[in-house]
Amino acid sequence: MIHPQARRDWAQLRFLDFKSVEAYNTALHRIVGQLRFCGPRVTESEMIEKTLETFHPSNMVLQQLYRNNKYKKYSELINVLLAAETQNELLMKNHHMRPVGAQAGPEAHASFRKNFCKDKG
């Protein structure tokens, strides 16, 4: 009873349907665990291929870059994807703090430095 559902879940699993790499990874491991318990063993290369082939179409260049690295272990790919996601979140956070074209705010100690330099000069 678990096996047909696990096979359907595997067939429908897509990286692009998840909001985070961690959520996708959790779902993939749940499904792979069910499949391993009930029958055919899912290989590392099948997990890698499932992940890469289900990227969002707008990320085809990234898909090719990851594919060219020829990962042998799924854990290597997922670690790279987690690091990339973390880096992207940091870049977006910095972008939202000061969007492109926005003026930088005044420096916190700018007036202190001006007065200090006048007193010394």
| Structural domain for 45, as ranges | 2-98
Distances in Å between the alpha carbon of 8 and those of 1, 31, 120?
Answer: 12, 10, 76
Question: Which helix (H) or strand (E) segment is 117 a member of?
Answer: helix 110-120
| pLDDT tens-digit series, residues 26-81 | 999 999 999 988 777 899 999 999 999 999 988 888 899 999 999 999 999 999 99
Confidence of residue 119 (pLDDT cuts 50, 70, 90): low
In a domain, 105, yes or no: no
The Cβ-side half-sphere exposure at 98, using a 13 Å CA radius, reads: 6
31 within some domain: yes
d(CA 103, CA 4): 57
Number of domains in the chain: 1
The reply to whether 61 falls in a domain is: yes
Instruction: Assess if residue 113 is contained within a domain.
Output: no
In a domain, 110, yes or no: no
Task: Give domain status of residue 24, yes or no.
Answer: yes
Q: How far apart are CA 7 and CA 11, in angstroms?
A: 6
Euclidean distance between CA atoms 31 and 47, whole angstroms? 11
For residue range 1-11, what is the model confidence (pLDDT) as tens digits? Answer: 568 889 999 99
pLDDT band for 103, please (50, 70, 90 cuts): low
- Please report whether residue 119 resides in a domain: no
pTM for this prediction: 0.71
